[in-house]
Amino acid sequence: MTRIIRGNVARKRRKKILKLAKGFRGSHSKLFRTAKQQVLKALKYSYIDRKKKKRYYRAIWIIRINSAVRTYGITYKSFICSLKQNKIALNRKMLSQLAILDHAAFQRLVEILK
């Protein structure tokens, strides 16, 4: 039985991994074995962090709304509760944008809810 030479296939596989590992430090971007481990780890973290990003942004929006509402003497909890009671359907992202960019509109919204 003759030996199978996997030149093209193996080279393509290795080059693909090393291309993904470009920019990693030291042997993590040069040597195939370590690069493969680091690429797998990086892909795992990128998948996880795409989910974390959504949580992080929601937390930021809540912090911004809370600080904006407290200047009018209301807590975040009571503000959100009164929004739901008055059937005002604004999500937290839009509320935080209003609080940052359009102070007058946000103030009118708070006055309506008071």
Question: Rounded distance, CA 41 to CA 113, Å?
Answer: 48
For residue 21, the model assigns a pLDDT of: 96
pLDDT tens-digit readout, 19-77? 999 999 999 999 999 999 999 999 999 999 999 999 999 999 999 999 999 999 999 99
59 alpha-carbon distance from chain centroid: 11
Any alpha helices (H) in 21-91, and if so which ranges? 32-70, 76-85
Q: Is residue 74 part of a domain?
A: yes
The CATH number of the domain where 104 resides is what?
Answer: 1.10.1900.20
Q: Is residue 66 part of a domain?
A: yes
Q: Is residue 55 part of a domain?
A: yes
For residue 114, the model assigns a pLDDT of: 83
Whole-prediction pTM: 0.76
Q: Is residue 2 part of a domain?
A: no
Question: Rounded distance, CA 98 to CA 101, Å?
Answer: 5
Question: Rounded distance, CA 73 to CA 96, Å?
Answer: 17
Q: Is residue 65 part of a domain?
A: yes
Question: Rounded distance, CA 46 to CA 107, Å?
Answer: 39
83 close to 90: Cβ distance less than 8 angstroms: yes
For residue 109, the model assigns a pLDDT of: 93
Q: Is residue 3 part of a domain?
A: no
53 close to 59: Cβ distance less than 8 angstroms: no
Q: Is residue 99 part of a domain?
A: yes
pLDDT at 7 over 80: no
Total structural domains in the chain? Answer: 1
